[in-house]
Structure formats: C-alpha cells, structure tokens
Homo-oligomer: A and B are copies of this chain.
Amino acid sequence: MKPRIVRVNMTDQSIKEEPLPEKYKTFGGRALTSNIICDEVDPLCHPLGPNNKIVIAPGIVTGTDGPSSGRLSVGGKSPLTGGIKEANAGGLTAQKLAKLGIKALIIEGKPRDDKWWNIYITKDKIELQDGAWAHQMGVYQLIDEIWKKNPNKPGIIGCGPTGQRLLKASGIFGNNIENSDPGRYAGRGGLGAVLGSKKIIAIITDDTGGDKPEPINPDKFEKGRIALRDALLKHAVTGKDGGLQLYGTNVLTPIINEAGALPTRNWTKGRFEHAAKISGEATKETVDKCKEKFGDASEGKYAHACHPGCIMRCSNVVPDTETGKAIVSPLEYESAWALGANTEIASLKDVATLNRVCNDVGLDTIEAGNMLGVVMEAGVIPFGDGPKAIELLKETAKGTPLGNLLGSGALAVGDAYGVTRVAQVKGQSLPAYDPRVIKGIGVTYATGTMGGDHTQGYTIAAEILGIKGEVTDKFSLEKADLSRAFQATTAFIDSAGYCLFTAFAILDIDEGFQGMVDSVNAMLGQDVDAVEYGTAILKRELEFNRKAGFTKAHDRLPEFFKLEPVSPHNVTFDVPDEELDKVHGD
C-alpha cells in the first residue's frame, strides 16, 4: 500500500492522511520518529500539553521477510527527561502498520474534554472509537477484550492505567503474538503518559488485506536478508539453541554478576548473592519443570518469538510452578535485574509477578525497579520483600498520593524522600550495568540522547561479551570512540526496524552486517552508510535536546557514582569529563 503518514489530531478529533514527504523518503523507525519530533515539536513545550506529539513508526524493512525486523519506534518529548525520546519494541503492531503502508502515525493536539478514545486502524478506515470502556482497565484484560471482539488478533499498543494517570514512569505497551501479555513495551521515557495526555488508551491495528512492503531492489534485498539471516542462525548467541533462545536476555544475569557489575540493593553493591535464582537459567529450569509436571497444559516457554519472523526468539513465558499458567511474558534481563537484584528480591515468582504488575498497570520495569530500590532505601518497605513490593506497584494504578508518587519514577521518589542515591541520567533511571565497573556503558548513559539507557549504545557487547573474540577492558577509561560508534550504529538499526540483538551476530560476522545494510539500501533504492545515517539522526536529537536546555552539564552521571566505590571491585566512575565530551564534540 502507498506509503503515507496518518495524522490524528486530538484537539478536534480529525484524522488526515498525507503522502510521505520527499524529505522523509529514506527514513523509517527512529529516523522518522526523531525527525518528525524535531521538525514539529517545540523543544520547550510541556510534554503533557497540546504541543507535544507521539509519533509511531515501523522500521524501514519492517513487514518484509527481513529477519527479526518487526520493531516499532515510538517518539515524543519525554516527560521524564524533558528531552527527545525514542522507545522501541517488538510485538505485533509494527509489521501490521507497515503492511497497511503507514510509515508514521502522528498523534497531536489534546482534547478539551475528558472523553477517552481508542484508534482503530484497518485497511479501509482509520477511526477514533469510544474508549470509555477501557479507561483504567488492566492491560491484560484490555487485550483480551479487544481480541474477543476482533478474531483477527490485531496488534495493540497503548497506555495502561498509569499512563492514563499521566505518570512519568509509564510506558507504551504492545501485545504478544499469541497470548494477552502486553509485555512488548516501548517502556522508557514516560511516553505512556504522553499518549495518556492525548486521551488515547489503545491503538488497534488489523492488517487484514494489507501487503508486504516491496523493496525497490528485490534481488539485492533478498541477498542481504539471507546474509543477515545466515549470520544470525550460525552465531552462538543468536542462533538455534544459542544463549538467547535457551535463556533469553536474562542469560546475562550470571555474566554481569560475575563481572561485579550487577547493581544490587539500590546500587550499593555489584554482586547479588541470589543472582542465580532470578537468572535465565532459573527461568529455563522453571519452564522445563512445568513442562514435565503439566505437559502441554504448561504455558511456560523459552525460544519464544516477540514478533512473527524473529529468528533469535529471545523471549520467554514464565510459568507458575504451582499451576503451569503463565505469569508474565517476557521476563527480560533488565526487568529481572531491576525488580530482582536491585531490590534484593530473590524469588523468580515474585520478580515475574512484579513484571506482570508493571505490564498490567503500564509501567516501565527499569524505572519501576529503580523506584523500588529507592523506596526500600528510604525505609518505606524492606529490601527483599516481594509481596510488599507487589502491593506498592499495584498502588500506582490507584490514583493515591503514594501511587502517583511511585509512578513518577525513581528520581521523583528520591526527591520526596531525600534519597541522594538515585541512579539516573537526565531524570531517567539507569539499567542493569554498573558504570563504575563497565566504564563504556557509563559513557553511553551519560552522553546518549535518550537519558540513562543502555539500548542506545550497548558497549556491553564489546566490554563483556567481546567482538570477534576480543574483549575491550571494561575498566579502561577511553570509551568515547566506542560509545559513539555504538550510538551511531544503533540509531541506524533502530531506523531499519531490525532488532538490536542482531548486533551480537553482525559485530562478529561482517557478511551479516553487510547483509543488513544491503537489505535497507535495497528497500530504499539508496546507498546509505550505516554510521553516517545514524550520526545524522543523533545530530538532530542532540539539536532538539540543546534547544530543550541540555548542555554538557547534563552529560554526567550522578555524583554518588564518583563518591561511592562499589564492591567487589571497589571502583568509582572515573571517566574524565573530557572523555565524555569527546563523544559528541562541541
């Protein structure tokens, strides 16, 4: 179908379709969302006011047979950081939008009344539907209800109860392929609250009758796609029965724990003595046990795909050992860390349940886990207390003062309780790698355009896993070049629509990387360079952030990382400011 932009204006509830402008012809995914935000959103607008926008875009190759390319990019001005935000997830919606020719869905304006809406997208019409019935409904139930009404199992993204309450820790959920778990979160930056401010609950996409997007150069595309596929299949991490398939991203828990970089007890220690209990291995064991106990009735899974056509299948479904029923899908490394090690909650069931609550109320798990760590440090509940933590997370959906405070994220809670140890950059909580130990990821946290986030420049691949057998010394302080290279390439991959985890394979196998680039160029009929392409995106994002008031002073880690050494290595974050400033230059 003809590539176009759909613009939903919530001030007057009008819907317009526009051809994709010439200047956006080479864009998809993050390139498109970030450029539209830069072109159309005042960097000084209130993130929850009428002048912010939400832009939703599938990647360039999304919807094709490109392997593991079903990623969705969501952009806006972040209520959490005040800067630009792109959050990215798998799930069903990206491919369906792509098959309907929708390159970007822009939601703008703000209703003047209190009516709630859903957006319904099919081949023949795009319309706003009454969403009152869905208001404050738990997201598991919401997806069930929508699927009951529509047997085509549409893609659904949206904001949960916390997003509808405009809380800054809320993300944008996306549904799974085959069950009602909304665990495909474009979780970061509080974009759920932006969608909530537009009075949109769910965006429902039924692509029945849609077509695969066509490459401009089909032969080149096919060759590229296959080169990438082969690389993914043969790589030990991404391939069949590789680490990701067996243990999911949570394969990292013992590795990062061993490295002494698994932030524990609100970032006061680098190792969690019970790490094994919440690891990917523990998840696999639980799945296997339930399979043994309940047979086919067990809902537990690993090697589970987050979107159709994923080769890596790093997702999972964590079953309840008592019933065999699914608790949550997926339980990822970052979530297991945030809700487990960082809170010292050592029960896989509690951690999976905490993740389920996040999914149900609409919270970002990384923000939620950091918030819990801070709340525990403040003495509100004890470290390690799973049941109490579950109650606290449920509270965020209730509109109480406590719930609203907790749902505002770790920094807000730290401020309210006078806790100075809040691991965040630009207001956004940090993920599962201690930057005092792994310096390069600290450089990414500090300098990335998205605030504290790992996916924007995942130097862990070089510093922990190694590239072509070589591991970059994690303690080395010269990491500006490494972080910059990762940040630029990531911006390209986020635009292509490929999953970031393809990186494990393409960093090791050059043909795979070339295949990815070729497949993108074949789609576009262009000859773009991945790093140049990514660098151009970063440049625009940096420009937005500069206009929003960010300076080099914001490209710093919180003071406590410099003051408090972390065990077992007893190191602080000592990358010089000059090295941080080298990442993006002046």
Distance of A521 from chain B, by nearest CB (Å):
38
Interface of A is mostly: loop
Q: Does A43 contact B (CB under 8 A)?
A: yes
Q: Does A143 contact B (CB under 8 A)?
A: no
Contact of A560 among B42, B49, B193, B196 (CB under 8 A): B49
State which size class the interface on A falls in. 35 or more
Distance of A442 from chain B, by nearest CB (Å):
15
A196 to B420, CA, bound (A): 13
Given contacts A168-B415, A401-B402, A402-B401, A49 and B553 within 8 Å (CB-CB): no
Contact B416 A408 (CB under 8 A): yes
Q: Does A563 contact B (CB under 8 A)?
A: yes
A416 to B547, CA, bound (A): 25
Contact B563 A50 (CB under 8 A): yes
Given contacts A401-B405, A553-B548, A418 and B165 within 8 Å (CB-CB): yes
Q: Does A357 contact B (CB under 8 A)?
A: no
Chain B residue contacts of A560, Cβ below 8 A: 46, 49
Chain B residue contacts of A550, Cβ below 8 A: 549
Contact A43 B418 (CB under 8 A): no
A367 to B559, CA, bound (A): 27
Nearest to A193 among chain B residues (CB) is: B418
Contact of A416 among B46, B404, B546, B559 (CB under 8 A): B404
Q: Does A558 contact B (CB under 8 A)?
A: yes
Nearest to A51 among chain B residues (CB) is: B559
Q: Does A551 contact B (CB under 8 A)?
A: yes
Distance of A564 from chain B, by nearest CB (Å):
10
Given contacts A405-B405, A408-B415, A559 and B45 within 8 Å (CB-CB): yes
Which residues of A are at the interface with B, using a C-beta cutoff of 8 A? 42-46, 48-51, 79, 165-168, 193, 196-197, 380, 400-402, 404-408, 412, 415-418, 420, 546-551, 553-554, 556, 558-560, 563
15 other A-B residue contacts (CB within 8 Å) besides A46-B420, A551-B551 = A44-B553, A44-B559, A45-B559, A48-B418, A49-B559, A49-B560, A49-B563, A50-B563, A166-B417, A167-B416, A197-B418, A380-B401, A402-B402, A404-B417, A407-B416
Closest 3 CB pairs of A and B: A166-B418, A549-B553, A401-B402
